[in-house]
Amino acid sequence: MEERRLPPHLRRTQQQQPINREPEQPTQQPPVQQRQANVYQQGQNENHQQQYNAQQQYVGQQQYPQQQQYQPQQNFPTQQVEQQQRKPQKIDVDQIPRPYIKSEESITYQQFSTAPAPLYHPPCVHQFYQTFDEGNCGPRYMRSSVYAIGNEPSILQQTEIPFGIVVQPLMEPSLFESDLPQVEFTNEPLRCQRCKAYVSPYFQFCQGGNNYVCNICKMKNQVPPDYYCVLGQGNQRGDKFQRDELNKGSYEIIAPTSYIKKEIKNNLILFCIELTQISVAKGLYSQVISSLQSILDTIPYPDKTDIAFITFDSKIQFYNIPKNLTGEPQIIVVSEIDEANVPLPPEKLFLNIETDRDKIDYMLEKLSKFGETITQQANQLVSVGTVLSNAVQLMQPRSGRILYFGCSAPRYGIGKLPQKPTDTKLFGTDQEKLFYQPNDQAYVKLGQTCLRNHISVDLFIANDENFELATVSPVSNITGGSIYFYPHYNQQINGTELHYALYRNLTRSYAYDLIMTVRTSPGIILFDYYTGSGKISVRDLELSTLNSDQSIAIMLKQEEKILDPEAYIQYALLFTNQQGQRVIRVFNLQLQVVNKNSGNNAWHNIFKTGDVDCIATLLSRKNLPNIMVQSIKQIRQSLFESVINILHAYRKYCSSNSPAGQLILPEAIKILPLYLQTLSKRDILKYGNVRIDNRIFEIHLVLTQSMHFLTNFFYPKLFPVHDINSQIVADKYYVGTLTDDEKTVLPNNIATTIDKIKSDGIYILDTSQFIYIYVGQNVDQSLLLNLFGVNSFAELSSIELFTKIDTDYSTKIQNIIESLQQIRGGTYVPIRVVRQNSPQASLVQSKLVEDEQQLEKSYADYLCELHGAIQNKGGV
């Protein structure tokens, strides 16, 4: 297995040894099913308990008695039920469903085979597992909302579950998994002549190996002479397990020359850096320059990467480097603001990282000094649109990436916007949607120009006021770029965050000049791509770039009856990699087709294979882009009704005999209500006066980021860490230490609620965007000394960022944090230290998503509201 290089913030300095002694075992929690049974047992008789156990085993559902104090709202009256079923019952909030991480699982890892099987169901995103590719594409690359569908379209439609896939095509494998196998054909890749599906483990070879039947369209094709192999036992090719394309669900093809439309010689990266008094004063300018100086040595394929720099204020500065590096660079200033006007050809400005390294070092040193001499009188007006237009013109006709670093809003030149106060009276009204519509189409048009030329734009924005992201962000969204947003940028706090964000941006994997498509069995069609990016044709999506941290949501639709017992999905991505190779990634997935006349409950089998992470992602990406045409209230209501419809369908088709007074949740997707309710407690869908840029930024994250990111965005994980020095796992390891195979023993997470936080405790809260270390005011002094090097809680007021000190306890905390970052491919997550009752404590409290917050119900009350709405819907 190939050894993977970790980013600097995740590289360990020394290996810790396991514990040799065997202290007394801590108290263990009961198994999951036993705890679930305990919920039902409160206030129930023995016969009802037996009924629950049978349903848990055969129906796959969870039942939660109704909360005693809950009075259903007027809109959701409770149905009349039998007298014995209307006894006051109370929800045990400790037992309602939520995603748990268990210490044992963090070091044992579930061994998950992708071999097709009845009621196939991969682990959830937050779980720890190691994938073995044995026919289906692994869930890290592609997930389906369900892994079983009905033979008739009405069956799947009646479940109300959205049918689709979420794909992360360039996902970097975990430390314990291998890269995709690469395949090269002698001539053309083996493909079906009718539907153009690529060869997969599901092609059926026949007639002595001379023909094969496509699993997608069922056409019989002839095997080319150079691909022929005799068939052996079971009509299997003799080379089946020597050819990755015949036994792996995911693989990569080196494309033949006929697939190359436009040769990409080198990766181009253009850095556009704001050089104004405000960007210098904030520290943004100097941070970008110093970070680039330290990151250059780690950029992959330096011989294939060319970079260039432009700076800007009210004018744009281009730099021509002299042959004699002891002199000064020629600075060519462009003052034209209403159109692009690049004064030099690309070959004069772009420098190869490997062969021109001395020139790059010279230029960065000069740029650093320019920042030191900036004056207070410098013009603060910045033309964002003009800068980007010049950058695009410079890149043409070659493709590449533009990285824009700025503090100032677009008040000048192309795409300028007038500065005006936000009309707060529109918040909460139908007119609020006007805030999220572009006020100028210049950036949309510029994004479309970028897309045609295979150029992407990444925005690094550090703005104190309104940057107008609703107007500017399309230039990034359309092209497949990324947005980094630092409101109220503070160099001391945000400098490290920006550094590692830039490090990740420049060192992760990228696809250039790409096009993707999905092929499906007859009866299934591609319905839509849920993304703000790219150019969509009937079946294809084109992007300028795609990176390893991004995912694509694709909605499918079953329109016709399926006669076969299996259905198939094949995702294919054609792109140019960073080495200049044209390659094709192929992901295959087999779905089970269930028949309602077969004697089994077809609807239940579909629910049993539901993927909660995929469903939550599809529903979010379907609804959030509507923010430009719908009110926040309408979007929230649409998500709420989606949950109601799914749970009502489950009760109707799978659990119609259950008492009406009980909330029934399908086991596989039981945390779906939690995931979708939490969106209403974040800036993305929160009621009230929310900063517009914040809302646009969070929508961008949900529409583009990986499901590893989204699982903590939906539900932040809360870990108590004040008692890890006494917690032993597997009779051998303390929590926070490393196992023999370099896995970190994580603590169990707890419910993300203030009720679980004690004033004498220390907690880690992982929200995907930040990791908070929350310190209670009554924490033992020895913990403070061993974690932060301070003697009292009061001394902690001077510490906002966590720095590991040379103690066993601090090392354990650092290991836990590194492991949480490593799960997401090594992406750096900013770490904040927050004291109880400090001004920053409200940041942590706002992320405790199970709690009641302003106008939002607690998680337990939300379940009760759902229950009332399901009862009000009736029909069961």
Three-class secondary structure of residue 764 per DSSP: strand
Distance in angstroms (rounded) separating the CA atoms of residues 49 and 39: 10
Q: Output the CA torsion sign for 650, 655, 660, 664.
A: negative
Tokens 């599906």 correspond to 197
Determine phi and psi for 572, rounding to 5 degrees: -130, 135
DSSP state of 554: E
Domains held by the chain: number: 3
Residue reference for tokens 């594409």: 137
Q: Rounded to whole angstroms, how far apart are CA atoms 98 and 715?
A: 9
**CATH code (residue 216):** 2.30.30.380
Neighbours of 347 (CB within 10 A): 7
What is the pLDDT at residue 573? 98
End position of a domain, from candidates 509, 528, 545: 509
Matching residue, tokens 């192929």:
586
Residues 234 and 284 in one domain: no
In a domain, 729, yes or no: yes
Q: List Cβ neighbours of 762 (8 Å cut-off, separation of 6 or more).
A: 720, 721, 722, 773, 774, 775, 776, 779, 783, 787
CA neighbor of 774 nearest in space, from 738, 750, 807: 750
Q: What is the pTM of this model?
A: 0.89
Q: How high is the pLDDT of residue 85?
A: 33
Alpha helix positions (H), 250-310: 277-282, 284-295
* Contact residues for 87 (Cβ-Cβ < 8 A; gap 6+): 43
* Whole-number pLDDT of residue 74: 29
Both 333 and 193 in one domain: the answer is no
Residue 789 and residue 723 in one domain: yes
Residue 64: per-residue pLDDT: 40
Identify which of 98, 62, 128 has the alpha carbon closest to the alpha carbon of residue 750. Answer: 98
Low-confidence ranges of the chain (pLDDT < 50): 1-5, 11-89
For residues 798 and 835, membership in a common domain is answered with: yes
313 phi, psi to nearest 5 deg: -135, -115
Per residue, what are the HEC states of 217-232? CCCEEECCHHHCCCEC
| Per-position DSSP letters for 198-224, written without gaps between them | BP-TT-EEEGGGTEEE-TTT--EEEPP
297-315 burial, b at 16+ Cβ within 10 Å, e below that, comes to eebbebebbbbbbbbbbbb
Q: How far apart are CA 656 and CA 54, in angstroms?
A: 15
CB 746 within 8 A of CB 735: yes
The CATH number linked to 496 is: 3.40.50.410
Domain span at residue 314 reads 267-418+452-509
Q: What is the pLDDT of residue 9?
A: 55
Do 272 and 404 lie in a common domain?
yes
Which pair of tokens denotes residue 684?
Answer: 């993305």
507 contacts: CB under 8 Å, gap ≥ 6: 7, 295, 298, 299, 300
Residues 6+ apart with CB under 8 A from 84: none
Read off the DSSP letter of residue 683.
T
Q: Which residue, 862, 285, 352, 251, is CA-closest to 584? A: 251
Residue 689 has a pLDDT of: 85
**What does the alpha-carbon distance between residue 127 and residue 109 come to, in Å, rounded to a whole number?**
8
Q: Last residue of a domain, which of 199, 217, 247?
A: 247
Among 201, 218, 247, the domain boundary falls at 247
Specify if 231 maps to a domain: yes
Per-residue tokens: 863: 């379940």
> H-helix or E-strand containing 666?
strand 662-666
Q: Do 408 and 337 share a structural domain?
A: yes
Burial class from Cβ neighbours inside 10 Å (0-12, 13-18, 19+) for residue 221 reads middle
Q: Are 27 and 723 in contact (CB under 8 A)?
A: no
Q: Which two tokens stand for residue 627?
A: 């923010």
Same domain assignment for residues 494 and 368: yes
Same domain, 287 and 414: yes
Same domain? For 322 and 457 the reply is: yes
Is residue 783 within 8 A of residue 742, CB to CB? The reply is no
The predicted-structure confidence for 714-771, as pLDDT tens digits, reads as follows 999 999 999 999 888 888 899 999 999 889 999 999 999 999 999 999 999 999 999 9
Within this chain, do residues 226 and 194 fall inside the same structural domain, yes or no? yes
In degrees and rounded to multiples of 5, residue 555 shows phi and psi of -90, 135
Say whether both 376 and 483 belong to one domain: yes
Residue 197's nearest CA partner among 538, 558, 582, 568 is 568
d(CA 511, CA 577): 5
459 and 488 in a common domain = yes
Q: Kindly state whether residue 76 falls inside one of the protein's structural domains.
A: no
We report the CATH number of the domain holding residue 763 as 3.40.20.10
CA–CA gap between residue 111 and residue 104 (Å, rounded): 14
Instruction: Characterize the bridge pairing of strands 400-406 and 455-461.
Output: parallel
Place of tokens 């268990």: 102
Residue 752, in any domain of the structure: yes
Residue whose token pair is 């995603």: 99
CA-to-CA distance for 57 and 5, rounded, in angstroms?
44
